[in-house]
Chains A and B, each alone.
Chain A
Amino acid sequence: MSLAHLNGGQQLAVKYYIVAVVLFVAQILFGLLSGIQYLEPDFLQGLLNFNITRTVHINAMIVWMLYGFIGSVYWLLEEESETEIVGLKLGNLGFWVLTSAVTVVVLVFLFIQTGPGDDFTRWFINEGREYIEAPRWADIGIVICMLIFFYNVAATFSKGKWSGIAGVLTLDLVALAGIYLAGMFYTTNISVDQYWWWWVIHLWVEATWEVLVGCLMAWGLMKTLGVSRKIVTTWLYIEVALMFGSGILGIGHHYFWIGTPEYWFSIGGLFSALEPVPLVAMVVHAVYDSGVRHSKGNNNPALAWLIAHAFGNFFGAGVWGFMHTLPQINLFTHGTQWSASHGHLAFFGAYATIIIAMFYIAAQYVRGQSSFGPATLGSGWKWKWALGLLNLGVVGMTVALLISGYEQSFIERAVGGSTWMGYFAAQIHPWFIQGMEWRMVFGLVTTAGIVLLVWDLLTIGKSRVVEQSRVTQTVS
């Protein structure tokens, strides 16, 4: 695969995208293992325990999405700033440091699965915070890599041209790197620890990541549909205001049951109810734009994934989130498979979809195609089936987990009073087990989707390039 025709930032972006895809595959494989272990708890017991498969599953998700975001920003950086990237060597160094750190962390997770929890393990084995289990040495490495990334973005825009997207993106990266620090210090009080831990998890996911996705969406709409920069920039500001307005204090819905004061009930409930407002805004704006502009895309797979993003974000974050966000009902649902159901659809719908859209935008340029439409892709069965299988798989898992979570909230929480007896009664209930079985079935559908997606990304537009070069050779 020749990348010589790409600019420096894009070449670096391709490296990030490759690792992102590898980690995406790892996420799904370890998710499958975790799913099997739910049904057959003895499976790989002692060799690869459930706590490890689950840890790798969710950490791989966070990290592949981070790689996808970083890659996407590097992809658009030189084009958006209209200048060469300032610290390309530094960026490459950051990539290798981050990738080495991720590799070592995963290997340590796999080889040292049990042991004491003390200062040594916190520094070198596992920090113990769900989603961000990486030990502290790796945390420091991640922050350094994020600072390199921030420097490259800010310095390149400073050297070249600032735009609305550039300004929002740069400020967002300050928050992205800064908030991660909140998950790095140790305290013996679990309420205090959870309080700060949510700053990373919630504020990353429902504030800084959303804004980053807003920037990518704005740029992606200009690229795929030719929407005017002025319009996407104005709407980026509006969306950011709406998302920060509701999302920052929406963190309150994580503070209901961790020992924080009661006023978080009111704050969390109110602002969580406001969080779907940006989604309603998106609906009105999408209808307006589609009616006024009748725009035609130049990259069908990317456009299809952007549409999947709009629907996935709406249902995963909006509908699935609001159904159990008020404390009156969240008392029974938090921490059950309800949360997993919401998490699967929201993460896939809000983030995985748009990163995949960026993969396809990059693939179009890497293969040197002016468009990714029927003329260049033919029937495009691979990307269409990948799109269908991945979405079907994730939606199926979401519904299956919802059924299990519904049963858990009844049997374990409401009837069993959140006791151990209630927990086990819920875990062996036929409805719970059937939900988990269906989750496994749809997990396999998702796996088929990722296989096709990877195959498609490796081959899309390639035959056309080969044909063109043959024609050129014949003519010459």
Chain B
Amino acid sequence: MIEPVELKDFFIVFFSGAMIIMSGALYALLFAWSRLQSKPWMMATAYGSYGILFISVLTLGSAAHLNGFWWWLVIAMLVGYLLAPHGIWKLCVGTHTADENAYPPVSAEETDNSETSLKSNSQKEAI
């Protein structure tokens, strides 16, 4: 059912496991920040973080012998971490829009007009 990690791969497993969570969080952080600030270049760094996550997951998969059924775990992590920030962002926008006092920012991907970014929301509040 499972093939234990080899002694020589212990550090690789620990390190890649930690990197998955760290780069996953960094991806989420930069993704959200990029949308908030309407800075497309930051989105590139977010996907760069996802790239690190991708490599970490494959490294973990290889070192921990995630074969057969366990390959699904690798796929679930790759797809899940990629899509989770998108889903959570939509939920953020949805929940805050529902709140009458909130002015949700519109993502750079959704519009080219930077006036609708957070800056303009601050201006609306000032008005």
Contact = CB atoms under 8 A, between A and B. Distances in A.
B84 A270 contact: no
B127 interface: no
A270 B69 CA distance: 10
B118 interface: yes
Interface in A75-105: none
Closest 3 CB pairs of A and B: A287-B32, A291-B36, A323-B17
Most buried by B among A277, A293, A325, A328: A328
B14 A414 contact: no
Contacts of B104: 292
Given A280-B88, A322-B20, A323-B18, 13 more contacts: A234-B98, A274-B76, A274-B80, A280-B85, A283-B32, A284-B88, A285-B92, A291-B105, A319-B22, A323-B17, A329-B17, A332-B10, A410-B10
B10 A276 contact: no
A331 interface: yes
B102 interface: yes
Contacts of A331: 2, 4-5
A44 interface: no
Nearest to B27: A280
B95 A234 contact: yes
B44 interface: no
B88 A285 contact: yes
Interface in A305-335: 314, 318-319, 322-329, 331-332
B114 to A, nearest CB: 15
Interface of A: 228, 230-231, 234-235, 238, 262, 265-266, 269-270, 273-274, 276-277, 279-281, 283-285, 287-288, 291-294, 314, 318-319, 322-329, 331-332, 406, 409-410, 414-415
B54 interface: no
Most buried by B among A262, A273, A327: A273
Nearest to B17: A323
Contacts of A284: 28-29, 31-32, 85, 88-89, 92
B5 A318 contact: no
Contacts of B96: 231, 288, 292
B2 A283 contact: no
A318 B23 CA distance: 12
Given A265-B2, A328-B2, A288 B36 contact: yes
B58 interface: no
B90 to A, nearest CB: 10
Interface string B22-66: 101100110111001100000000000000000000001000111
Nearest to B80: A277
A289 to B, nearest CB: 8
A149 to B, nearest CB: 31
A323 B14 contact: yes
B80 to A, nearest CB: 7
A226 to B, nearest CB: 10
A279 B20 CA distance: 13
Provide the main secondary structure of the chain B interface.
helix
Contacts of A228: 99, 101-102
Nearest to B20: A322
A329 B4 CA distance: 6
A414 B17 contact: no
Nearest to A234: B95
Contacts of A328: 2-5, 13, 64-66
Contacts of A410: 7, 10
B36 A332 contact: no
Contacts of B99: 228, 230-231
A319 B18 contact: yes
Contacts of B85: 280, 284
B25 A314 contact: yes
B33 A266 contact: no
A266 B98 CA distance: 40
B21 interface: yes
A245 to B, nearest CB: 12
Contacts of A266: 1, 69
Nearest to A287: B32
Contact of A324 (B1, B4, B17, B91): B17
Contacts of B81: 280
Nearest to A415: B7
Given A280-B85, A287-B33, A270 B21 contact: no
Contact of A283 (B25, B64, B121): B25
A171 B63 CA distance: 42
A339 to B, nearest CB: 14
Nearest to A317: B21
Nearest to A281: B88
A273 B84 contact: no
Contacts of A273: 73, 76-77
Given A265-B1, A283-B32, A328-B4, A409 B88 contact: no
